[in-house]
Each structure stands twice: as structure tokens, then as C-alpha cells.
Amino acid sequence: MILSGTKIAKNIYKELREKVILMPEKPKLQVILVWENSPSMRYIKQKKKWCDFIGYEFELKEFWNQVSEAELIKCIESSNQDISIHGILVQTPLPAHIYTQKILNSIDPKKDVDWFHPYNQGKVVIGDKSGLEPCTPAGIIELISHVEKSIGGKYIVIVGRSNIVGKPLANMCINLGATVSICNSQTKDLIRYTKKADILIVATGKPKLISKDMIKEEALIIDVGFSVVDGKIWWDCDFDIIQKTHTITPNPGWIWPMTVSFLMKNILKAYYLQK
Ligand code: NAP
């Protein structure tokens, strides 16, 4: 069975739109882009499309790639003070001369809709739901909830330990009562873990890392990763695993909408956190 995030995301957009239409003041997202002719523009256009649909205001602030850290921080500090801006999103990657975490740390945690500030990250570790949420992990948990009543007691294996997917997702699953293993590129004998997983979540960007023989019958597989080799998209899981599983694949088509819909949820939450 294939589970798609597209339909679930559309319902989230509609629910948000119904709430925003009743609001006298509209929440506003500011996106900061530093990259000449960046492919990031494709992602930004999608975010704008859904902001327009929901009724959020959207502002794009562009800088050429020679911009200094100081200039960027000055811009963010000014947006932090601006009460008409409720969410600030710095589109990454940033040019090599800029220390990305320093820039992200300068965003007011209440406006950190892309969830990069250590304050919000810490809240997820301790299971405090009052802060903003990591968009991709929260989207994955929502997807899982459509096929599993509870993940308490499940054995979940996450392949990939990035700050944006693997680590926050592991914390969220632990807080929900799952038993979690998190693997990385140095994990020895990966199959030893993947083969036992009730739920396997793969976010590596390594083509066909997971094959049919690496999973157990009837496991739920969430394939977050993808890569482009010679112009062709590859998923982290070999597509033939579909014969054996519930599977959510391929990304970017079906996980990406969940990420964007949770970004949209964060914008509304950020608005209320500032009231
Ligand atoms: P990342 O920061 O590059 O992290 C990749 C992770 O995969 C690392 O922890 C790495 O281990 C691990 N890894 C690499 N090769 C491995 C191997 N052979 N066995 C086990 N683990 C291995 O990437 P990311 O930002 O988390 O993104 C991962 C993938 O998800 C990418 O394809 C990205 O495009 C996709 N993604 C999709 C969405 C979305 O659609 N919503 C959102 C975010 C990311 P080490 O730490 O040891 O290097």
C-alpha cells in the first residue's frame, strides 16, 4: 500500500485557510534568501503558493551571495522587532563564508517557523509542545498516525541523524513511547537494525540504500530521502520494497507536502505565540 502525504497536507491547508479567513489581521511570513540564482527559489515558490492559498502575507527579502553575516543579522534583528512579521525563514544553504548556525540563532525563537533555534530544539527533546515544531519530523509523525493508532511500544529505526530530520524525529518518537534506534554512516551491519523495525524511516539521500531483504514483512516504511544522479531521481529505498510493506514513497512528491503543511501550521502558531 502506498500512503501519500499530499491529501493529508491539502486538508491541513484547508483547515488553516478556514481559520485565517476569520482573522482581522493576517499572519505574515518573511523568507530571507541569500543565493544568486539559487535552486532554493523552487522551494520558496511552493511556500508562497500555500501562503497565498491560506491567506498569509508573504515577503521575500533577497540578498546577493556577497552579503556579510553582520548585514544578515541586522536584517533579522529588525524583523524580530517588526510586529507585522510573525515568522522568519532563512532559506538554506547559505554561502560558505557565512556561519549558518550563527544566523539561525539570531532569529527570535517565537518567529522561528523553520525550527532551527536551539531553544525550540531543546523543547522537542524534553517533549514540551508549547514551542514551534520541526516541520518534516512533525509531518512524518502525522502521516504515521493515519495508519497506526499509536507508536507506543513500536520498534522504530531511523536511518540518518541530521539535526533537521533524524535527531528531532528520534526525540519525538521516544516521547511518544516508541523504542528507537538511530543509525548513521558508521553503523555496522545496518540490516541488523532495519530488519527488526516495525517502522523504518530513512533519510540519507543515498540511492537504494534499503533493499527488500533489509526489511521485515509488513513493516511501515517512510522514505524521506532522495537524490538526483545524472538528472534522474533516486529514493533511499529500492522501489521493490513496496511489494512487502506499507510504504510512503517516493519523496519528494509525498513527504515534502507534509513538511510544507507543518511549516504553514507553525506560522499560525508563531502568530499566537506573539499575542
Ligand atoms: P544529511 O544532513 O545529509 O544527513 C544524512 C544522514 O544520512 C547522515 O546522518 C548520514 O550519516 C546518514 N547516512 C549517509 N549514508 C549512510 C549510510 N550508508 N548508512 C546509514 N546512514 C547513512 O541529510 P538530511 O538533511 O537529513 O536529509 C536526508 C535526506 O532527506 C535527503 O535526501 C533530503 O533531500 C531529504 N529530506 C527531505 C525532506 C522533505 O521532503 N520533507 C526534508 C528534509 C530532508 P552521518 O551523520 O554519519 O554522515
How confident is the model over 82-113, as pLDDT tens digits?
A: 999 999 999 998 999 999 999 999 999 999 99
Best residue among 190, 204, 236, 249 to mutate for probing ligand 1, ranked by most atoms within 8 Å of CB: 204
Pairing of strands 246-248, 232-235: unpaired
Calculate the CA 156 to chain-centre distance: 18
pLDDT the model gives residue 239: 81
| 28 Cα: distance to centroid of ligand 1 (angstroms) | 30
Average pLDDT value for residue range 157-177: 98
Question: What is the C-alpha to C-alpha distance for residues 28 and 20, in angstroms, rounded to an integer?
Answer: 11
Q: Are 224 and 255 in contact (CB under 8 A)?
A: yes
Sequence-distant (≥ 6) Cβ neighbours of residue 264 within 8 angstroms: 12, 13, 16, 50, 51, 54, 56
Compute and round to an integer the Cα radius of gyration of the chain: 19
Average pLDDT value for residue range 72-79: 98
pLDDT the model gives residue 36: 60
| Confidence check: pLDDT of 26 > 70 | yes
| Confidence check: pLDDT of 38 > 80 | no
Question: What is the C-alpha to C-alpha distance for residues 138 and 124, in angstroms, rounded to an integer?
Answer: 10
Question: What is the C-alpha to C-alpha distance for residues 232 and 208, in angstroms, rounded to an integer?
Answer: 13
Average pLDDT value for residue range 115-137: 97
Average pLDDT value for residue range 153-175: 98
| Confidence check: pLDDT of 192 > 70 | yes
- Residue 250's pLDDT band, with cuts at 50, 70 and 90, is low
- Residue 252's pLDDT band, with cuts at 50, 70 and 90, is low
What are the C-alpha distances in Å from 65 to residues 38, 47, 134, 145?
Answer: 10, 22, 27, 41
| 182 Cα: distance to centroid of ligand 1 (angstroms) | 12
